[in-house]
Chain A
Amino acid sequence: MRTGCGRGAEAVNMTGAEILVRMLAEQNVTHVFGIPGGAVIPLYDALYDAPFVHLLMRHEQAAVHAADGYARVSGRPGVCICTSGPGFTNSVTGLATAFADSVPLVLVCGQVATSLIGADAFQEADVFGGSLAVVKHSFMIRDLSEIAETVRSAFGIAVAGRPGPVLVEFPVNLQRESGSFVQDAGPSVGLHEPAAPRYGQDFAGCLRLLEAAERPVILAGGGVVLSNAADALLSCAEKLQAPVATTLMGKGSFPESCALALGMAGMHGTPQANLALSEADVILAIGARFSDRTTGAVAAFGRRAKIIHIDIDAAEMGKVVAPHAALVADAGRALRELTDGLGKANRPSWEARVRELREHPFNSRCEGESFRPREIIERIRNAFGDAVPVVADVGQNQMWTALHWKAERPRTFLTSGGLGTMGYALPAAIGASFANALSPVACIAGDGGFLMNAQELETCVRYAVPVRIFVLNNGCLGMVRQWQELFWNGRCSQTVTGTPCDFVRLAEAFGIPGFSCSSLRALDAALSDVVFRHGPVLVECRIAQKENVFPMVPAGRALEDFLSGAPGA
């Protein structure tokens, strides 16, 4: 047991749990999301007196998503707590979601007593092994003297470089054990300083390609949001007079009302984004990782273009696309330095072409339907304005929101992009609301994904969280149904359920006001009520089952080969 030699700091007798809570407070934690359990009872006893708020969720997956939503909106690490065994295994999907989208998180996970580890004890799970592939790093606390440094390191690692989730495994006996503790200044973040990369330092090459570009396009990814670099991106795009497409994670990094905005690129990208990337002679990809959903067929991606890749993660360089110039750097710093180095551009013919592309019409329409996803999303967006964050779930609802919700500001468009976790939206919206001092958040989900974490309605009620839930109910698992329809001869295996429940009564069972809409007029009426409510509210939008998301680039095709509607329709 290290007693330390804290200059001025006084040694006090504390339990491990109390030390951990003290260290969380040192990290300026304001909210933690979690669920108690047998292996964290001492920790919850210490939380009873914590100077920050603990929010009880109804499922560990939801607790991690809530911390994730909190982190994405606030830019600070989300913190969550779960117990050992099933508490941990339930959290794994949340960790994997945060890992895939580079979200800074710290999960404190209970573990059975050290004397029982490896004995197949009650609620014992291999936390280290089970989380190996879905965390940036993990720690096991083995001694009281390690707690302070472990917590500091966990927060340091979660936010350093490319952010990600970090797990701290805390055996229950060490939570109970007490010892002398000195909270010294302790600079000791146990990180090995990474050596300066010997590659990906081609700033001059980036500048040269951009100066020579005739048809430049910027592809902005989630790294621009993570690096708080939206202003730097706007300045760079304006100086370069380059249109900006975003990835799904990049939405919000560039104001979509700007004349240079192309919207989202990729499988369900806008025609202007996908066509501009296909016609570009230089693509500046920043904070993006060339996901298969963004590039379409990789061999055809940017085939007329020289590619500049800027990312903080050196391992992304050349992982998917071999760049012509690579820069391993923070997005904000790189954009500011590029902007300073660039001359004011003037490319009238490309600017005219971009204007022309931006007028390309597209809609995901069903003939004869008047209550269509595009209009629904636009009405909701108009009712809330550009400051209210929206959390989109996964599937058709997500792509409709990505296409039609005009994101103007960073950290206002949240979704599970990399992992594609259905059930993400509601719990993440709860965390997002807490990050903004319990201000309203829009949550858009399908009937399928909503039911994957619907228990969190209770959490919304208990804390009066102003989450405005919109369930786009098409009575099917729509995105898979769409693929089955388009590519599997219409054999809709296990995807068409019909309306799964009465969503209004479901909401009401939790004490939440519910509305059901089948027309834009009814939606407008509901919205005029919803925006003034204090707590949670649920609006079911009953849309046609046959609605599909278009445009769509079929898997394995080039970005410009998008379908604008169902073949033959």
Chain B
Amino acid sequence: MSGSERRISVVAEDTPEAFLRLTGLLARRGFRFREMSLGRTMRPGLARYTLVLPGDAGTAEQAIRQLRKVVDVLHVEDVTGDAFRERWVALIRCDLPVKDTALLHCLLDRTSLRVIGEGAGTMLLEASGDRETVDACVEAMSAFGVRDVLTGGPFIMGLSSGEGESN
């Protein structure tokens, strides 16, 4: 995991207003997050945002203290480190037919890549895992005439229960 970025989890009201308050605050104060995911948890009406923020723990701490002032926010914590696991997802569309079928089968066997559908002259694949895995899958597929890639994440959860859990 890169030392120059931190993961922050924010539990907030699941409304467009809360979303705007969070992102507006971060943009206004110069916290230019690289990634953001929005997920739903066991608790209805609440959303959990996960942000990837460039900078060190001190920068993250400043962002966390600002985020805690947003009235719609219930909980904020730094979720960077070994006590957490994260998952990213990529969707990849590439040309059919595949020239090097042997290589494709090798990738499907050995990575998280799997085919999830076929269209007219194209097929859709999915990869998931940690960021390095997903990036590697996308990179490996570049040999197959990739037409579109969409990556998203991260979703992060602690290995043990913490105070920011969805209960």
Contacts and interface: CB of A to CB of B under 8 A. Distances in A.
A318 B24 CA distance: 21
Interface string A155-173: 0010000000000000000
A192 B69 contact: no
A17 B40 CA distance: 36
Nearest to A322: B58
- Size bin of chain A's contact surface: 20 to 34
A192 B73 contact: yes
B68 to A, nearest CB: 6
A132 interface: yes
Given A314-B65, A318-B58, A132 B71 contact: no
Q: Which of B68, B71, B73, B75 has the most CB of A within 10 A?
A: B71
A406 B115 CA distance: 77
30 contacts: A128-B17, A128-B20, A132-B20, A132-B21, A132-B24, A133-B24, A133-B28, A136-B71, A137-B71, A138-B17, A140-B17, A157-B71, A191-B71, A192-B73, A192-B74, A194-B68, A195-B68, A195-B75, A195-B163, A313-B69, A314-B65, A314-B68, A315-B62, A315-B66, A315-B68, A315-B69, A318-B58, A318-B61, A318-B62, A319-B62
A325 B37 CA distance: 36
Q: Which of A132, A137, A313, A315 has the most CB of B within 10 A?
A: A315
A434 to B, nearest CB: 29
A192 B24 contact: no
A191 B70 CA distance: 10
Interface in A278-318: 313-315, 317-318
Contacts of B20: 128-129, 132
Interface of B: 17, 20-21, 24, 28, 58, 61-62, 65-66, 68-69, 71, 73-75, 163
B137 to A, nearest CB: 39
Contacts of A138: 17
Secondary structure call for the B interface: helix
A449 B163 CA distance: 51
Interface string A130-156: 001100111010000000000000000
Contacts of B17: 128, 138, 140
A548 B163 CA distance: 56
B28 A315 contact: no
B36 to A, nearest CB: 18
A136 B72 CA distance: 11
Nearest to B24: A132
Given A199-B61, A314-B68, 13 more contacts: A128-B17, A128-B20, A132-B20, A132-B21, A133-B24, A136-B71, A192-B73, A194-B68, A315-B65, A315-B69, A317-B65, A318-B61, A319-B62
Contacts of A137: 71
Contacts of A195: 68, 75, 163
Q: Which of B17, B74, B75 has the most CB of A within 10 A?
A: B17
Interface string A175-200: 00000000000000001101100010
A501 B66 CA distance: 46
Q: Which of A195, A313, A317, A318 has the most CB of B within 10 A?
A: A195
Nearest to A128: B17
A253 to B, nearest CB: 23
A105 to B, nearest CB: 15
Nearest to B69: A315
Nearest to B71: A137
B130 to A, nearest CB: 28
